[in-house]
Amino acid sequence: MTSYASVSELIRGEAPDSPLLCFSPASINERVKQFLTHFPGETGWAVKSNPHPLVVRAVIEAGIRAFDVASRHEIDLILQHCPSATLHFNHPVKAPEDIAYAWHSAGIRSFAIDCPEELEKIDAVLDGAGEEARRDTVLTIRFRNTRPAGTGNYSFDEKFGARPGEAAGLLRRVAGLGYRTGLTFHPGSQNRDPESYATLVDLARGIAAESFARGTAALAHINVGGGFPCFYPGGPEPELKTYFAAIANAASSIACPIICEPGRALVAESANLLTRINLRRKDDPRLYINEGIYGSFMETPFVDFQPPVRAYSADGRPFPEAGTYDDFQIWGATCDSLDRLRMPVSLPSAIGTGDFIEFGMMGAYTNATATHFNGMEPARLIAIDEITSWPVGATAAQIHCE
């Protein structure tokens, strides 16, 4: 293994011709610590945000022991790295075979549902396991906000979630069958409105009150989901502590534990993506890089945030921050014309073919969603000790290349 002291040295030493995700476990530690210290309940992690084994290990080493899993593969992955983990199978729509695998083989006792049909699937899997099986299992009803607060980015409420009235009926039915019960929601990814969590916790309290004389005391938990943002330089996102305060405030009269399962907020800031410019045409604002929306940039067409950038020349020297800059269009590596970044990117006017662009905050929903379209390999993830920070902070240090 070769180690490099900076991105500049990495470029000089390796001249990487394919994209690299430079990943820092130390950054995960920092974010996990914030949640473990200040979130008013238990913090889990949504594995789907980055299932790379190095990332999974870093999250576990940072102290996370509860996980939102969406598939058999994620179940096996987490149990392989942390056999004592608590797993919540919170995908609201599951294959019957996966429910059976989760309950019988992996010992999972927590599932999310949002309709009677999904309840029937789970009940059929447990049929024959006896009343004790139901008593051991928490079914958490996913509900949706019927008046979404407009959190700035994509909502999950069109795809999943019972209306509050339906959720109350389902909760009663689930409890009547002998299961333990919970409530959950997802307030929209990269959420920018801490009060939307408070609104949804209030809604959960109302649903529990409609269902049970004991209200929230009858619940095993309220899961406030993911959605917590990461922080782009100069972005409009409030600080995490504002979200924690809003949740703590709304939860002060709740009689059951509060849990959460962020994805992006724990891992987005832990990786930067190093890409190379494969072509700049003369007098043309289009730059063609060796990565794109079928790789690490899958999310960019759908969101209004864009990673910060830093430019390096082909021999690894960072372009000066104070030079002349222009707006460029970034086009992706495949032949597909959809393959481009939606927003223009400000880069040194002199940038050209063979130079490098480092994109920050690329640790969530990047390698996790990358494809092999056009025969191209997803970006390789490598470990670094310290990550480049923005706006003008330290550049990455101690990069380890196999």
Ligand X SMILES: Cc1ncc(COP(=O)(O)O)c(C=O)c1O
Of residues 296, 276, 300, 291, the one with CA closest to residue 362: 296
Q: Are strands 380-386 and 356-359 parallel, antiparallel or unpaired?
A: unpaired
CA separation, residue 58 to residues 32, 49, 53, 176, 389 (Å): 10, 13, 8, 41, 19
Q: Are strands 356-359 and 309-312 parallel, antiparallel or unpaired?
A: antiparallel
- Say whether residue 193 binds ligand X (CB under 6 A): no
**Cα angle 177, 178, 179; round to 5:** 100
Beta bridge partners of 86: 66
Number of residues forming the site for ligand X (CB under 6 A): 16
Q: Which of residues 62-81 bind ligand X (CB under 6 A)?
A: 68
> From the CB of 48, what's the least distance to ligand X, in Å?
6
Closer to ligand X by Cβ: residue 262 or 348: 262
> From the CB of 57, what's the least distance to ligand X, in Å?
19
CB hemisphere CA count around 48 (13 angstroms): 13
User: Which segment (164-172, 203-211, 258-266, 287-295) binds ligand X by CB under 6 A?
Assistant: 258-266
Q: Which DSSP state fits 335?
A: S
Closer to ligand X by Cβ: residue 264 or 276: 264
- Say whether residue 118 binds ligand X (CB under 6 A): no
User: Which segment (42-50, 123-131, 167-175, 299-307) binds ligand X by CB under 6 A?
Assistant: 42-50
d(CA 78, CA 61): 13
- Say whether residue 295 binds ligand X (CB under 6 A): no
Select the residue interacting with ligand X from 32, 79, 265, 396 (CB under 6 A). 265
> From the CB of 77, what's the least distance to ligand X, in Å?
16
Q: Which residue is nearest to ligand X (CB)?
A: 226
d(CA 73, CA 86): 16
Select the residue interacting with ligand X from 6, 8, 49, 300 (CB under 6 A). 49
- Say whether residue 262 binds ligand X (CB under 6 A): yes
Given the structure tokens 């008046």, which residue do they identify? 147
Phi, psi of 218, rounded to the nearest 5 degrees? -85, -5
- Say whether residue 90 binds ligand X (CB under 6 A): yes
- Say whether residue 368 binds ligand X (CB under 6 A): no
- Say whether residue 227 binds ligand X (CB under 6 A): yes
d(CA 87, CA 107): 9
User: Which segment (73-81, 96-104, 172-180, 220-228) binds ligand X by CB under 6 A?
Assistant: 220-228
d(CA 240, CA 233): 15
Q: Which of residues 375-394 bind ligand X (CB under 6 A)?
A: none
- Say whether residue 59 binds ligand X (CB under 6 A): no
CB 278 within 8 A of CB 353: yes
- Say whether residue 261 binds ligand X (CB under 6 A): yes
Closer to ligand X by Cβ: residue 67 or 101: 67
Neighbours of 198 (CB within 10 A): 19
Chain residues binding ligand X by CB under 6 A are 46, 48-49, 68, 90, 186, 189, 225-228, 261-265
